[in-house]
Structure 1
Amino acid sequence: MHILVTGGAGFIGSHLVEHHLAKGDAVHVVDNLSTGRFENIEPFLDNPRFHFDEADILTWAGLEKAATWADRIYHMAAVVGVFRVLEDPIRVLATNIAGTERLLRFASAGRWKPQIVIASSSEVYGPTPAELLREDAMLYVQSAGKSRWNYALSKLADEAQGLSYARQYNIPICVVRLFNTVGPRQTGRYGMVLPRFVEQALSGGPITIYGGGTQTRSFCDVRDTVVALDLLADTPAASGEIVNVGNDREISISALADLVCARAKMNVERQHLSYVEAYGQQYDDILRRKPSLEKLVRLTGFTHQWRLEETLDDLIAQYRKRKAG
């Protein structure tokens, strides 16, 4: 099978590459390395079934050829991370919306219709009071003027584009709403909380908690995520659907800091920062983010293999190895 991964040098994308190379597939990655890292894909460069182009999907001349070559496309390219979203809101909208439209336009023009998985985000649910987030829930969108919501708006646009192309051109497209994917190769550079906590704990602290720390999240190991995405792409009934992908184990941010310290065997100070102190502007946080996985399990029979403690142990080992090197 021929696999195209846009944003394939990113944290999740590189695990998709590894997953499909292990299956014997040919994999083509395009990434401009704005948030992806070359070191994530460097181990694959000697594999004859792997090809990499450093390019921007908004302007890359090879996108049409790559899209029509592929049997399956994982569209992961996007501007991600809270700090990037707040610092460059125009880039968020341009890349996330126009890049998706360009890819879908080329994919629909080919001689065959590739399987396409479009990465959306749990951010699209907005500041909902719901305790459990289901795919058919009403979505809450804040009024215009707050760039904090540009990422969610761009992902909603991607969802609409994907489902529209699926209906109009009969392309097998599945939209996945990812919930806090974590694991090896992830960095805290752009605001991702788990690797940031690990780095701070192992550096002697303090661990900085934004806001009160009572807000909860549900973390899914990237190795579980890529299996779920593969299963959904292989499932005809998932075509034209939106599916939550994540883990429904919920934990508060303060409890997460405690767990990181326990697994790292480090007793460090906790420091609370207001959102203005953390981001340089007012930030509207979401108090709970727990996915309903009923649809994912019903469609694919998916089961998790990785517990949060195991993911943490791998991140801690990764950081210590990098620091020693």
Structure 2
Amino acid sequence: MHVMVTGGAGFIGSHIVEFHLKKGDKVHVVDNLSTGVLDNIKPYLDSPDFHFTNDDILTMDHLARITTWADRIYHFAAIVGMFRVVKDPIGVLATNIAGTERLLRAIDDENWTPQVVMASTSEVYGHSPEPELAEDQVLHTPPSGKSLRWNYAISKLADEVLGLSYFQRKGIKIVVSRLFNTVGPRQTGKYGMVVPRFVSQAVNGEDLVIYGDGEQTRCFIDVRDTVRFLDLLGGNPQAHGEVVNVGYNREVTINQLAEMTLELAGSKSKIRHITYDEAYGPGFVDIARRRPDVTKLARLSGFTPQWSLEDTLGDLIERYRKINRR
């Protein structure tokens, strides 16, 4: 199989690359390295089955040629991370929507029908009152002007609509994956991701800083399980034209996550809470609860996650310790 990954030098994208190279597929990555890191894909640069293009899908002049080479495309190029979203709300809308539209138009212009796995986000559910979030629920995303954090959710919702429109009108085989808090190796806390931030703080003996009261809940899934789900969905014709939650439905509070990290690391670090205003600036509103309904995911993939949250945290703690010993 020929696999194209936009945003392939990023956290999830690089794991997609690794997964497919292990399967013996040929992989072409397009990434402008705005948040992706070349070190994530450095082990593969000399592989004859791997090619890297340092370019931006908004402007690159040979996008169509790569799409016609690919049997499957993973579209993960986007501005992500709450710190970046709050800092550059205009760029989020422009990049995330225009990049997706340009990719889909390139596929259609070449009259090519690869499998396309598009990354969306659980953020599109907004302030849903439901205890579990299912794909067919009404979405509750507030107007963007109320808080610029919602620009990311709105951009991804626009991407979903674009993708499903190209499926319905153009026959492109698209799966929309709504990702729920994917964590694991190569993720950075630089842009606001909580797990690598907690692990780094615990290993380095620093305070674990929680935003808000810490009673907000999240469900975390290991990136290695996420990539397996994405592969199975992309290859299943029944998933084409569908929106699918990709996550794990074990729910923990952020306070519990911090305590778990400290215990597994054997760390004597303290836990400290700060306000959302201190973390993100005025006007930020967080989501109190976010738990996916994974019924559809299980039916379309036939796969069960292999990594528990404790497994992932333990793995990350060991990796951070090895980095500190170098």
Q: Does the pair score TM above 0.5?
A: yes
Aligned to 1:26: 26
Question: Residues of 1 paired with 2:300 and 2:229: CA distance?
Answer: 10
SS at match of 2:273: strand
Aligned to 2:216: 215
Question: Residues of 2 paired with 1:95 and 1:268: CA distance?
Answer: 39
1:302 partnered with 2:289: no
- The Cα offsets for residues 293-323 of structure 1, whole Å up to 9 and x where unpaired, read as 0001111211111011110111111111112
1:240 partnered with 2:241: yes
Describe how 1:7-22 pairs up with structure 2 within 5 A: 7-22=7-22
Aligned to 1:153: 154
Aligned to 1:314: 315
Describe how 1:277-288 pairs up with structure 2 within 5 A: 277-288=278-289
Structure 2 counterpart of 1:31, one-letter code: D
Measured after TM superposition, the shift of residue 111 of structure 1 is: 4.1
Question: Residues of 2 paired with 1:320 and 1:199: CA distance?
Answer: 9
1:272 partnered with 2:263: no
Question: Residues of 1 paired with 2:144 and 2:54: CA distance?
Answer: 34
Measured after TM superposition, the shift of residue 26 of structure 1 is: 0.4
- The Cα offsets for residues 128-170 of structure 1, whole Å up to 9 and x where unpaired, read as 1211000001101212312110000000000000000001111
Describe how 1:247-266 pairs up with structure 2 within 5 A: 247-266=248-267
Structure 2 counterpart of 1:259, one-letter code: M
- The Cα offsets for residues 272-295 of structure 1, whole Å up to 9 and x where unpaired, read as 000001112221100111000000
Question: Residues of 1 paired with 2:110 and 2:2: CA distance?
Answer: 14
Aligned-CA RMSD value: 0.8
Fraction of identical pairs, as percent: 60
**Native 8 Å contact 1:3 1:71 kept in 2:** yes
SS at match of 1:205: coil
Question: Residues of 2 paired with 1:281 and 1:36: CA distance?
Answer: 28
Count how many residue pairs are aligned between Structure 1 and Structure 2: 325
Structure 2 residues without counterparts, runs of 5 or longer: none
TM-score (norm: length of structure 2): 0.98
Aligned to 2:182: 181
Question: Residues of 2 paired with 1:61 and 1:315: CA distance?
Answer: 39
Aligned to 1:63: 63
Structure 2 counterpart of 1:215, one-letter code: Q
SS at match of 1:105: helix
Structure 1 counterpart of 2:95, one-letter code: T
Question: Residues of 2 paired with 1:143 and 1:169: CA distance?
Answer: 30
Measured after TM superposition, the shift of residue 61 of structure 1 is: 1.1
SS at match of 1:217: strand
Measured after TM superposition, the shift of residue 207 of structure 1 is: 0.5
Structure 1 counterpart of 2:5, one-letter code: V
Structure 1 residues without counterparts, runs of 5 or longer: none
